[in-house]
Structure 1
Amino acid sequence: MPVDSLPNSILAHMLAISNVPPPPLHSLPRLRLSKTINYGQLNALCHIRGLKSDQHSSLRSEAHDAFIKQYPQIFLREKTVLPKVSHQVDKRKSALKLAEKKHQPVMAHNISAYLREARGGPSIDEKEITEEKFQEFLNILKKLPVYRTTHEHNMVWKILQSIPELTSQFSNEDLKILSKKVISETWIKGSTVIGDDGLYVLLTGQARRRVKVFRSLIEENDSIITSLYRDSFLFDAELQDSTVAQLYVPSKKLIVKQWGIFGSLKDRAEMDERDRSVVTDYDCEILKIAAKEYEKLKLEKVKHENAQKLKLIRKCPFYETWPTLSIWELVSICKFKNFPPGHVLVESGTVISFVGYINSGYCNIYRNVVGLVDLPINKVKKIKKLVYMGKLKEKESFGEISILLQAPFTCTVITGQEVEMAVIEDKDIQALDPVTKELMIQTAKPTFGHLTEEDVKSEYIKSVQAKEWKYFKNKTIQRILHSNGVLPGFGRWEHYWPTFPKNLKKPLISYS
């Protein structure tokens, strides 16, 4: 049988290419190992004995349980390194390596910060302090405050701002003032530090808080009593009788570590012993904020605030002729308060509960008026509306007559913006001596008491007419612009060119 030409050509082509070498082999791309998987643990997990046994065998069931239990171990977890300032810097480490050391910032939502605080460790929640910066901080504290530079004062202030126990007790301004008075004290191992005269912050070393215990002096096997002869400097004993001693013993659990605090600047008489004193386990550097410096700060704040109140009340129109002694009676009972915008201080027809002296901001004054509102089907309805009549500005007061004469306010007072004012409560006003109250009645006047009903109605009519005129003007302008094909924001004239002609010598718009 003759062979067809097409198979012959295919056979010839196959013979022709039989001597052609195969194409070169290409290497497979390397697999990128994941950084979050422990491949050694994964390999061991896949080769658990009994995993490939019969489906109904007990060995397979045990292997399956072991697989499920060990499965989470194949995932690598990043180790959280808690930042810590070591007690002694290794001399072999160069300053360059210390500077390059990275400190992870502890954020407020990081649970590790709260765990360290609960265990007595550092609880700084802002950017961490490097070794060099911390050493410089210690050197600054060893200087007397009068010898520190402005830069050194600012550095101490910034580090104190990073200690939550201090920021929770003091404002930023108070902490800035106290930072210029803090000092550092060095205590040797085994010292008992009593925090009666200030607030203490542990900078280096470790200490234990003291707790109160009662021990019998008769028992010979009492380890605490027998240790009194060896370490008597650790304890403070107050004998209640001949057989029982009240001892202050260092606790093994209540440990104070770096940045921990003890002592107090407030209510020191009611302070518990564990918060008042510690016993050092090592040589320690302790920062001290003296209680007397804090008392000076409070006195300066009170003095400055009273001077502001005196200046504010004296500048109010009703008190310009008052004697200084009478104004000081008001200064001693008033206090500053802040009110947000839109806060209703007093409503019309009610007796106000305080006297206000506006230090900053302003208050709007409104009067009630009965107005008519159009309803469908040619009907009207009477409603009460507030009419703006003016404002109370800075260095003005209100509320004196309403409290002393128990007269209801004739207007509504609403803050126009955030307002700071000195406030005297009504009970404090009523407790003033009769001379001061009579002087206040004679000099003060009702707030916007000169307004009559005719003035309020006239102002209401003006506001309604202005509103109607504004509405009519806007509607008329919109109708005229729309009828002439003018759209606001797209020019005054209308043209129909789809594109701008090139090389146009004549203007695009002709004025006729």
Structure 2
Amino acid sequence: MNHTEKFSEENPSEFFFVVAPKGGHVRNNDMPKIEKPPAIDYEKLRELCRIEGLKDLQNGVHQTTEEAHQMFMENYTSMFVQKPKKLGFPIHSEQREQNKASLLSVTQNATGKTMETEKKKPKKEWPVDKITHDIRDYMPLLHKQRKIEDPQLIRQENLKTLRRISKKLPFQRTPADNDKLFNILRTFPFFKENIPDPILKELCVVCLHETWRDPEFTIFGNTGLHMVLHGKVAPMTHPYLNTDDGASLRSPTPLLVNEPEEFLTAGQCFGTLRKIEGREPSSKVYSVITQDNHCEFLKIPVADYARVIEQIKQREHTEKVNLLLSCGQYKLWPRQPLLQVAELIEWITYPPNTVIVSEGYMAPFIGFIKEGECHILRQVEVMHTLPNGKKEKRTKQVVMGRLGSSESFAELSVLLNEQITCSVITATEMTLGIIKPEKIKNLDEVTIQLFKQSNNRTFGDLTMDDIQEEYMQQELKREWNEFKHGVLLDVINSRGIRPGYGKWSK
């Protein structure tokens, strides 16, 4: 009789003998075979191993206590990854169950193992740098290059992408989808020439997809801008696309085209973005007739366009009001004058080292600094010594201060039609809100008086003594820096040290 030790399921701490017939062997299938081994959560396993009383030779515990063993056996199932709860509708077939993620996915990612279904085929690297004599190594590169450079193929791929993304409802599209729509629509002439980029970005969020499956159907172009994605249509009127707010339309109705001479195909547009006053949405203005069995369009409704434009205007107006309120002299203004002034503000951007206005000249506008920084310069006459020893008077500019965000300049110069008392030069890239002198006439007398009472001349309180004193301080500082630099060069050269040469080049 042969025997072997076997683990007791009733009492895990005890072993018992299994007796086999003489000359026989214990079969391997006495215990059930585990086809799908459970995945182990190693964080839970570490927590179980930290139970006080378990055998731990490293820490001097040579035997497991009964209490620790009992606690381990009661909680050992927690170290296996639990089956995720099913959400939504129940799965009624085994086939759909197999398509779901495996129960091992959580732990497989943690342990570094990868399931066969998740393995990705390695991307083949074509031997670009390594010279080979097999033409098959170069044909894929040639085909890819032709596909990228061919405008017709790029256009076709863009139209396919537009069809795929636009079929999603607006609330289903992700920001990446909207960015893709924007980048593709910019490549078509109508959107690039007639719609600014900030507005086009907003319109990509509200655009819709329409499908007309039968020919000889009329599509009313007065309801919005349509772009043909698939199929062919025939215009009923001329013009069929609004590019000048309907100014060229004949009244009461445009002439119909009995036999259309041209057709609109994929990539071309018809319709209007702005509502045509005096024309019904179902009128034949900008309308077309489908010519194919399956026509698809990208549509921007007139109502959505008007709503987007209104939102952009409200956003810009709020931004202008906040810019005024950030300037200290306008915080106590009444609400109504602030709104009037905000209506006149325009945005403009200047690069660094740009002279906005020069001292002694008329200011071109009132400036409110949103972002960036500028230097304020004043002129001063000083004595300059020539190389021959003679002295002469010269006019130089001195930096008297700086203006940053939430500050303004040139209010009184524009309101009183006076020459500005300083020069303004940008130190960094600047974004300004400006009010031009001709727009000041649109303000009422009360608002103009508020302007005059709330502002002072920009650095206009400086005396000539203050300017000369500042000039002397800057000149002394410059001369001291030059002296220190000269002494440093003399010390280095006296030891034969030449920076950038020989061993000093490192």
Q: Into which bin does the TM-score normalised by the smaller protein fall?
A: 0.5 to 0.7
What are the within-5 Å matches in structure 2 for residues 98-247 of structure 1?
104-105=146-147, 128-129=157-158, 133=161, 136-137=164-165, 139-140=167-168, 144-146=169-171, 148=173, 153=178, 156-157=181-182, 159-187=184-212, 188-211=214-237, 246-247=255-256
Q: Return the index of the structure with the highest Cα Rg.
A: 1
Partner residue, 2:309: 298
Shift of 1:394: 0.6
> In the alignment, is the contact (CA less than 8 A) between 2:379 and 2:398 conserved in 1?
yes
Q: Is the 8 A contact 1:105 1:128 kept in 2?
A: no
Give how far 1:489 is off. 6.1
Conservation of the 8 A alpha-carbon contact between 2:233 and 2:263:
yes
How far the C-alpha of 1:472 sits from its partner, in A, is 2.1
| Residue of structure 2 in register with 1:276 after alignment | 286
**Structure 2 residue 355 is matched with structure 1 residue 344:** yes
From the superposition, tell whether residues 340 and 160 of structure 1 become closer, same or farther in structure 2 (CA, over 3 Å).
same
Q: Secondary structure at the match of 1:247?
A: coil
Tell me which amino acid in the other structure corresponds to 1:392.
Answer: L
1:386 to 382, 397, 400: 397
Identical positions, percent = 30
Deviation at 1:458, TM superposition (A): 0.9
Check conservation: 2:237, 2:285, Cα contact below 8 A: no
Pairwise CA RMSD: 3.7
Q: For residues 424-503 of structure 1, what are the structure 2 equivalents within 5 Å?
A: 424-488=435-499
State the one-letter code of the partner of 1:441.
K
Query: Displacement, 1:296?
Result: 0.7
Q: Greater shift after overlay, 417-426 or 151-160?
A: 151-160
CA distance, structure 2, for counterparts of residue 377 and residue 411 of structure 1? 33
Distance 2:290 2:223 in 1: 18
Amino acid at match of 2:202: I
Give the Cα–Cα distance (whole angstroms) in 1 for the partners of residues 394 and 478 of structure 2. Answer: 18
Distance of aligned partners of 1:387 and 1:433 in 2 relative to their CA distance in 1, 3 Å threshold: same
> Which digits, 9 at most, give the CA deviation of each residue in 1:237-283, with x for residues without a partner?
x999xxxx95323422x221111111121485799x99923222213
Gaps of 5+ in 1: 1-31, 33-100, 114-121, 214-237, 494-512
Q: Aligned equivalents of 2:373 and 2:439: distance in 1?
A: 24
Question: Any idea what SS the aligned residue of 1:251 has?
Answer: coil
1:325 match: 336
C-alpha spacing 1:208/1:441, structure 2 compared with 1 (3 Å): same
Relative distance call for 1:134 and 1:462 in structure 2 (3 A) is: closer
Q: Deviations over 1:60-117 (max 9, x none)?
A: xxxxxxxxxxxxxxxxxxxxxxxxxxxxxxxxxxxxxxxxx9695565xx7x66xxxx
Question: Deviation at 1:389?
Answer: 0.7
Inter-CA distance 381–479: structure 2 relative to 1 (3 Å threshold): same
Alignment partners' CA distance in 2, 1:475 and 1:270: 80
SS of corresponding position for 2:471 = helix
Asked if the contact 2:167–2:208 (Cα under 8 Å) also holds between the matched residues in 1, the reply is: no
Aligned partner (choices 415, 423, 434) of residue 412 of structure 1? 423
Corresponding letter in the other structure for 1:348: E
Measured in 1, the distance between the counterparts of 2:238 and 2:272 equals 19
TM-score (norm 2): 0.61
Aligned-partner SS, 1:464: helix
CA contact (8 A) 1:161 1:167 kept: yes
Aligned-partner Cα distance in 2 for 1:293–1:429? 34
1:369 aligns with 2:397: no
CA distance in 1, matches of 2:424, 2:175: 47
| 1:339, distance to aligned residue in structure 2 (A) | 1.6
1:338–1:152 CA distance, 2 compared to 1 (3 A): closer
TM-score, L = length of structure 1: 0.60
Q: CA deviation at 1:448?
A: 0.7
Give the 3 Å change call, closer, same or farther, for CA 162–275 of structure 1 in structure 2. farther
My pick for the range that moved more, 334-343 or 144-153, is 144-153
Superposed displacement of residue 465, structure 1? 1.8
Q: Deviations over 1:119-162 (max 9, x none)?
A: xxx9x65x82486x56634642xxx4345566655555555455
The whole-number CA distance in structure 1 between the counterparts of 2:478 and 2:334 is 48
Distance 1:428 1:489 in 2: 59
Native 8 Å contact 1:250 1:279 kept in 2:
no
Aligned length: 349
Go from structure 1 to structure 2 and tell me whether the alpha carbon gap of 1:128 and 1:411 turns closer, same or farther (over 3 Å shift).
same
Distance 2:159 2:226 in 1: 22
1:292-341: CA deviations, max 9, x gaps? 11111111111111111111101112112111221111011111111222
Q: What is the Cα deviation at residue 359 of structure 1?
A: 0.3
Q: Structure 1 residues 204, 395: CA separation in 2 closer, same or farther (over 3 Å shift)? A: same
Q: Which residue of 2 aligns with 1:310?
A: 321
Query: What is the distance in 1 between the residues matched to 2:484 and 2:444?
Result: 60
